[in-house]
Structure 1
Amino acid sequence: MIKKQSRNTLAVLFLCFGFCPLVFCPLVFAEKATVPAIEVTDARGKVIRLEKPAKTIVALAPHIVENVFSAGAGDKLIAAVNYSNYPEAATKLPQVGGYNSVNYEAILAYKPDLVLGWMSGNGPQVAAQLERLGLTVYVDELRTLDDIATEVMTIGKLAGTEEVAQKNATEWKKNLSALREQYSKAKTVTVFYQVWNSPLQTLNGKHLVSDVMRLCGGHNIFDDAVSIAPKINEESVLSRNPDTIIASGMGEQRPEWLDAWEKYSGLTAVKQKNLFFIPPDIIQRHTLRILQGTQMMCEHLESARQKKE
């Protein structure tokens, strides 16, 4: 009788006061699991904080669009900019202007959890304006090959797709290391990298393409230029007399203007038939595909190197 009353008394206490020993209902004392906020630092040195992984993303540069897909977060992209042509799924995304002329109203209309911007392409004012409008913006500025893998993993962290991002980045870094090892002791070959012909334009030593050259044993003859994409003249190229000329252009086909250098028969690159082409999408875009362009760059420079020996 006493035991029955004791049990009844305990039951009343449990119901009235929520008192519950662990042996009876351990779930009451289990702490609610808390998911830590996501924090990363962008190219501005600014800490970007998300309370939870982004579900909707707008990317403001073609290379960023591609890196989002590489990070396993392509299904979270809701808009991009023009020239976002890889992978195929990117071509179906709505556009919010160009990388250098974004449409603020269109971006706002999508109400993205996160906007991914490009420092030198969009300009710093774009991120600042989007933040004034209440959006969260992460800004990149990739200058080295290693930066690419880091970006893919960072996007994976922001989007909650770290496992895929880590897998793809790790495999890519393995292949990059193999190329570095292969060409680590190669003799230097001088390179003029031609972006365009009118106006004649190149890239300086801070651009990602110069990092590719260095990996392959190449030296950019305009490494010391102040501007990242300086406009130059033919005389400056002739005076520096590069061993090779590598052109990019605008598409998948070798540009006709590359062969215009053949009129300068005294130029080393012409004499040794070292006028080469690499499609811009696999050498100038800051994406995992750049290893394809790097392989081509290394093969071209190796060909030129053998002609010097």
Structure 2
Amino acid sequence: MSLPRTLVAMMVAALGGEMAHAADASRQAATSPAALAIIVRDDTGRDVRLAAPARRIVTLSPHATELMVAAGAGDRLVGVDQNSDYPPEMKRLAQVGNPLNLDIERVLALKPDLIVAWDYAASGSTAGKLPMALLDSLGIAVFYSRPAVLADIPITLDRFGRLAGTDAVATPRAAQLRQQLQSLTATYAGQTPVRTFYQLSGQPIYTLNNRGIIGDALRLCGADNVFGTLPAAAPMVSVEGVLLANPQVIVVGASKGAGAAGAAGADGNAALAQWKAFAPGLTAAARGHLFVADADRMHRPGPRMIEETRTLCEHIDQARSPK
């Protein structure tokens, strides 16, 4: 039995009204504060939530400062830690100390809507935990950053772009960094391993194992880290231990700034001169494979670290060619 035309018309009108109401509700839900919130997971696994893109950012680590600038958010930075000196104009911003000695009052005076801090907890340290917890309790969003491998650098850049609403800058820049890493991987994959000693400091002598981001850079270059299997992240070693390992390449991480001291006060050239004295018994010294890596670039997991890794790989590769 067919329905009367009037009834059909009423049913269609009612259905149309319900659909319009549903569409309205859907639009309202899409534009609600909850739907517009920015949620980004940090390196501790916490979801950091912002109601809107961050406009006043404080960074408490040099790598975070560099990455925020690279992400196009340099104009959003209102304060930095005392060691953030790149780009140079960052030194003109308010300095708030560091997570170990943070000036809480100065941080609060800057009225940040986002703080980016190094994740010390990943290394088992409680350094900076109390001031960060205090800031978090005051309702200030805290994002913990600790890139563990080189591939984490473009990932972090993307995340910072989302937090600051600068994806248009961050996304293509992150893609460039990924391309650089892919190029390095393709170049050095399958190359003959080169026994390498990476020196972090001079007196006492500290090195690093394979688990950190510098260890990842060495691995990408095809280096066989002679102390890579030690349990400590930054083990102390002796001169005798280095001589016994007899690396083909020695790399010293030190600042290349004019007159500046390197990592932990060890001057790079002075450290290399000490190893030269052990030639010809020390292979790296005998063959001249002694290099300085710029600590300001290599020890800060930002875009410049990937560039410095290319230089590191080129140095290591020289040891593959007989002299």
State TM-score, norm by structure 2: 0.82
CA distance in 1, matches of 2:82, 2:104: 15
Worse overlay, 198-207 or 135-144: 198-207
Give the partner amino acid of 1:190. Answer: R
8 A Cα contact 2:70 2:173, kept in partner: yes
CA gap 1:100/1:187 in 2 versus in 1, 3 angstroms: farther
User: 1:123 aligned to 127, 133, 139, which one?
Assistant: 127
Deviations 1:39-89 (A, max 9, x none): 121122111111111111000001100000011111110000122111122
How many angstroms does 1:250 deviate by? 3.1
CA distance in 1, matches of 2:244, 2:133: 42
CA distance in 2, matches of 1:102, 1:223: 34
CA distance in 1, matches of 2:237, 2:134: 33
Give the unaligned 5+ runs of structure 2: 1-15, 18-23, 259-267
Counterpart in the other structure of 1:287: 302
2:154 aligned with 1:140? no
Counterpart in the other structure of 1:4: none
How many angstroms does 1:99 deviate by? 5.0
Give the unaligned 5+ runs of structure 1: 1-20, 23-28
Which residues of 2 match residues 39-54 of structure 1 at below 5 A?
39-54=39-54
How many angstroms does 1:124 deviate by? 5.5
How many angstroms does 1:150 deviate by? 0.4
Counterpart in the other structure of 2:274: 260
8 A Cα contact 2:59 2:117, kept in partner: yes
Counterpart in the other structure of 2:236: 231
8 A Cα contact 1:259 1:275, kept in partner: no
Deviations 1:94-148 (A, max 9, x none): 1001354222221122121010000139836143232234321000111111100
Deviations 1:131-178 (A, max 9, x none): 234321000111111100000000111111111100100011112211
Which residues of 2 match residues 1-309 of structure 1 at below 5 A?
31-32=27-28, 33-34=31-32, 35-98=35-98, 100-120=100-120, 123=127, 125=129, 126-252=131-257, 254-265=268-279, 266-307=281-322
CA distance in 1, matches of 2:247, 2:255: 23
8 A Cα contact 1:252 1:280, kept in partner: no
After superposition, the CA RMSD in angstroms is: 2.3
CA gap 1:99/1:263 in 2 versus in 1, 3 angstroms: farther
CA distance in 2, matches of 1:280, 1:174: 23
CA distance in 1, matches of 2:231, 2:109: 39
Aligned length: 284
State TM-score, norm by structure 1: 0.85
- Secondary structure of the residue that 1:166 maps to in structure 2? helix
The structure having more radius of gyration, on CA atoms, is: 1
- Secondary structure of the residue that 1:117 maps to in structure 2? strand
Worse overlay, 161-170 or 245-254: 245-254
Give the partner amino acid of 1:123. Answer: A
CA distance in 2, matches of 1:176, 1:183: 11
Give the partner amino acid of 1:52. Answer: A
CA distance in 1, matches of 2:99, 2:137: 19
CA distance in 2, matches of 1:36, 1:133: 22
